[in-house]
Amino acid sequence: MNDPTLCGLNVPPSRSTLPNQRCKSNMNESLSIAHLEFEAGRFAHAIQFAQYSLAQDPDDADALTLLGMASLCFCEFDEGIDALERAALIQPLSRAIQIELAIAYGSVGRQNLSKELLMSVATSGKVSSAELLRIAAGLEAIDEPRLAMEACRQAGILNPEQPEVHYQMGYYAQQCGHPSEICESLIRHAIALDPRNVHFRIGLASLLIRLERKPDAIKVLTPVIPDRLEEVHCQCCLKRIANLFFDCDDVQRARLYASRLKTLTKQSFTAQQSNVA
More confident residue, 227 or 5: 227
Number of domains in the chain: 1
Q: Which amino acid is at 204?
A: L
For residue 26, pLDDT over 50 is answered with: no
Q: Which amino acid is at 72?
A: L
Within a domain: 40: no
Q: Return all residues near 112 (Cβ < 8 A) that are at least 6 apart.
A: none
Q: In this structure, how many other beta carbons lie within 10 angstroms of the beta carbon of residue 233? A: 14
What is the span of the domain harbouring residue 251?
195-268
For residue 198, pLDDT over 60 is answered with: yes
CA pair distance 173, 156, nearest whole angstrom: 14
CA pair distance 69, 228, nearest whole angstrom: 30
Share of the chain above pLDDT 70, in %: 87
Burial tier of 4 (Cβ tally within 10 Å: 0-12, 13-18, 19+)? middle
- Helices 77-90/61-73 angle, 10° precision: 160
Structure confidence by residue, pLDDT tens digits, 213-249: 999 999 999 999 888 888 888 888 888 888 998 888 8
Within a domain: 256: yes
Within a domain: 73: no
Within a domain: 216: yes
> What mean pLDDT comes out for the span 72-91?
96
More confident residue, 276 or 150: 150
- What pLDDT is attached to residue 13? 65
Share of the chain above pLDDT 90, in %: 69
Within a domain: 124: no
In this prediction the pTM is: 0.82
Of 56-70, 160-174, 233-247, the poorest mean pLDDT is in 233-247
More confident residue, 159 or 16: 159
Within a domain: 259: yes
- Looking at 127-162, list the stretches that DSSP marks H as alpha helix, in order from N- to C-terminal side: 129-141, 145-158
> What mean pLDDT comes out for the span 205-219?
93
CA pair distance 202, 214, nearest whole angstrom: 12
CA pair distance 136, 263, nearest whole angstrom: 31
Q: Assess contact for 238 and 264: CB atoms under 8 A.
A: yes
Within a domain: 211: yes
For residue 15, pLDDT over 60 is answered with: no
- What pLDDT is attached to residue 276? 46
| Mean of per-residue pLDDT scores for the chain | 88
For residue 28, what pLDDT band results from cuts at 50, 70 and 90? confident
**CATH number, domain containing residue 205:** 1.25.40
For residue 24, pLDDT over 50 is answered with: no
- The percent of the chain in helix, strand and coil, each rounded to the nearest 5, is 70, 0, 30
For residue 34, what pLDDT band results from cuts at 50, 70 and 90? very high
Within a domain: 38: no
